[in-house]
Each structure stands twice: as structure tokens, then as C-alpha cells.
Amino acid sequence: MASDRYNDLDQLGQNNGLPQSPDEAVLERVKNPCPEPYMVRLVAPEFTSICPVTGQPDFAHLVVDYCPKDWIVESKAFKLFLGSFRNHGDFHEACTTGIGRRLVKEIEPTWLRIGGYWYPRGGIPIDVFYQHGKAPEGVWIPDQGVPPYRGRG
């Protein structure tokens, strides 16, 4: 039942360990199966990296939206790429925009954006919003709809 579009995937269906750093992670891609423009959304509520100043872990909920040109990202490779930030240290603004820019380089989409919704530190969360390129005319791009931080009560 599987088409040969998927023959080259080395990670899906395998039992892979985590890459040691973002640089070691391989972002495998699959041929885009649809000749018309459309949008793909990937949600990663399990992202974690390290604060470069204190060494403490940081946590974020990430949402990536993109319009494929020739390729779509393979979702297990995407998951392993995100996992490679587990022991990588940088500020919220640098991690979020860095992930967005790496995806732009590897997947070469027509358009891409990433929202990074970080857990609060000192009672104050930081959210980072980055986008690159221009969505093709007529593509439908819904809001990411992540609810804002509320504190308690």
C-alpha cells in the first residue's frame, strides 16, 4: 500500500537515538505529493533546551507552519531534530528563530513561520514569532490559536 515516494526514508519506522546537537541532526524530506499550493502545520509541545547563562532547562511549545515547494519535512526527522536541542544552550529568541531558519534552508518552502511559546521564568513567559518568504496567493493560513499565559486563579 505504500507508494515508492517513501523509499528513501532512513528514520521512520526505525528505533533511533537522539542526535547529540542540532548540527548533527539530519532533516530528511519527502517529495511534495500535491501539485497545488497548500499549508502544513507541525506542533511540538515537547521542546526543551538549556539556558546559556544559568544552565537550567528551558521548555517551549512550538508551532511551525509552511507552504511546501518541492519537499515536505518527514515528521520523525523533524522530531529528532527538535530533540537535538535537549542539551543545547541559547536564549529563547535565538533558539526559535534558529529552528525557523534551519527549516527554511533544508526544506526550501515557499513560505514558513514558527511560533515559540516558552514556559514562564520569574513569572514572565516570552513568546517569539518568526516568518520567512511570502505565502503563495490564495493559500489558506489559519491562526495558530495558542492560548495566552494566565498566571493562576
Write out the binding residues for a second copy, residues 34-93 only, by CB under 8 A.
Answer: 34, 36, 38-46, 48, 50, 52-57, 59-61, 63, 68, 72, 75-76, 78-79, 83, 86, 88-91, 93
Which member of 23, 51, 67, 127 is catalytic?
A: 51
Phi, then psi, of 6 in degrees rounded to 5: -105, 5
- Single out the residue of 28, 33, 27 nearest to residue 8, CA to CA: 28
Site for Ca ion in 34-63 (CB under 5 A): none
As a whole number of angstroms, the distance between CA 128 and CA 105 comes to 19
* Whether the Cβ atoms of residue 42 and residue 74 lie closer than 8 Å to each other: no
Quick one: what does residue 77 bind among a second copy, Ca ion, none, with the CB cut-off 5 to 8 Å set by partner type? Answer: none
| 34 is a catalytic site residue | no
DSSP summary character for residue 117: E
Site for Ca ion in 110-149 (CB under 5 A): 120-124
- What is the set of active-site residues? 51, 58
